[in-house]
Amino acid sequence: MSNHEFEYHPEAIGEAWEAFHWYAERSEAAADDFWDELHVARQAATCQPETWSPYLHGTRCFPLKRFPYGLVYIERGERIIGIAVAHFRRRPGYWRKRLAD
């Protein structure tokens, strides 16, 4: 089990904050739970990136347990890049252009 460096694509950071604020407007506890689950996803992707099945466009996706989101990531050498914090109701692969960044 190796630890890779992790970084978020800037647009993924925006998606995470947008979702967090949406939940916070409804329930502080739900927002905190969302943030905690996203942290778990990041840790899991960092420690064992190959664990989750291949997703779209060469990525992998760690689905959050209690929320309709997944952390879409790609492994680049010793780095894991969080490409999107994707809501599963959005068009699949909408974040594809981020792979070129």
User: Domain holding 77: CATH number?
Assistant: 3.30.2310.20
| Whole-structure pTM value | 0.93
> Is residue 101 in some structural domain?
no
**b/e code 4-41 from CB counts within 10 Å (16+ = b):** bebebbebbeebbeebbeebbeeeeebbebbbebbeeb
Residue 94 identity: Y
Reported as a pLDDT band with limits 50, 70 and 90, residue 2 is low
Number of C-beta neighbours around residue 45 at 10 A: 25
pLDDT at 1 over 90: no
Residue-number span of the structural domain to which 25 is assigned: 5-91
Partners of 62 in the β-ladder:
71
> Is residue 61 in some structural domain?
yes
Instruction: Tell me the pLDDT tens digit for each residue of 56-94.
Output: 999 999 999 999 999 999 999 899 999 999 999 999 999
Contact in structure between 100 and 11 (CB atoms under 8 Å)? no
